[in-house]
Amino acid sequence: MTTLILPAYAKLNLTLDVLSRRQDGYHEIASVLQTVSLHDLLIAEPAASASFEATGPPMAGENLVLKAIRLLEQRVGRPLPLRLRLHKRVPVAAGMGGGSADAAAVLQAATRLYELSLTVDDLQEIATQVGQDVPFLLRGGTALATGLGSTIEPMPALPRRWAFLVVAPPVAVSTQVVYAAVDGRAPSPQRTPVLVAALRGGRLDAPSGFGNDLESATRSLYPELDRAIIPVSAAIPGVTMTGSGGAFFAAFGSVAAARAAAEKVRAMGAPVWVCRPVPGWS
């Protein structure tokens, strides 16, 4: 019996510009996304009947893994029973796309294990139905996300020597609640076009220019998160939020610099990781 073991890499929003709020309540955004080495691990194998078990931090909200399998089965018109074991490491409800990464991994696993004749475009279409971050996490790397966040354009890779410090205070954040508090009328600094131009022009040397239009809303809605991140920001300049929170990150030009910063944060008692950028994959 064939068994696949796939990493489900987390993502960071290096930038997140909220451009407008649509009449249906959703938001038009522009964001530069990056997969990082912090990951969940998915173990998948064909089975007579489907099963799913997860270890690690409790999963929050809708189970996107099961949703992805259900939509894939609808697309191909037959059951695809899998025995799935998921080892969770990515912080949940933290804006790092952990559940979306798991869903992307199971789409890849089922397609390979059952040798499905699906194109990349087919999988992207299914991924969009699962969740906004899933299309990006099918391929990973560095990308520009526009529209509702699921229109993806690959970007040149970040410098390989870079590293990220990620800190995730134990505060679960609701993406829906945060976006509901943002009407899209406040002017955005529009960091994304500047970063995209630097990536395309090969001018991105030192980490800079990151930021997130949702950060002020999240910190206002979750004062315990705000209190937790204030000392981190004082110790590590340039810390910014990913997604709708509550994980924060800072970028460094080397692993050594990121590890030194992580020691400062670890002394504060906050959960912290040092990650590398992960390039895209086929």
Catalytic residue among 11, 40, 102, 213: 11
Torsion over CA of 76, 133, 124 and 38, rounded to 10 degrees? -90
Domains and CATH numbers, the chain: 4-154 (3.30.230.10), 163-275 (3.30.70.890)
String of b and e for 167-196 (b: at least 16 CB within 10 Å)?
bbbebbbbbeebbeebeeeeebeebbeebb
Q: What is the mean pLDDT of residues 67-78?
A: 96
pLDDT band at 187 (very low <50, low <70, confident <90, very high): confident
Catalytic residue among 17, 40, 133, 226: 133
Our answer to whether residue 226 is catalytic in this structure is no
Task: Read off the pLDDT of residues 203-233 as tens digits, 9 standing for 90 and up.
Answer: 887 788 899 999 999 999 999 999 999 999 9
**Residue pointed to by tokens 């696949």:** 4
Strand, helix or coil at 22? coil
The pLDDT of residue 34:
98
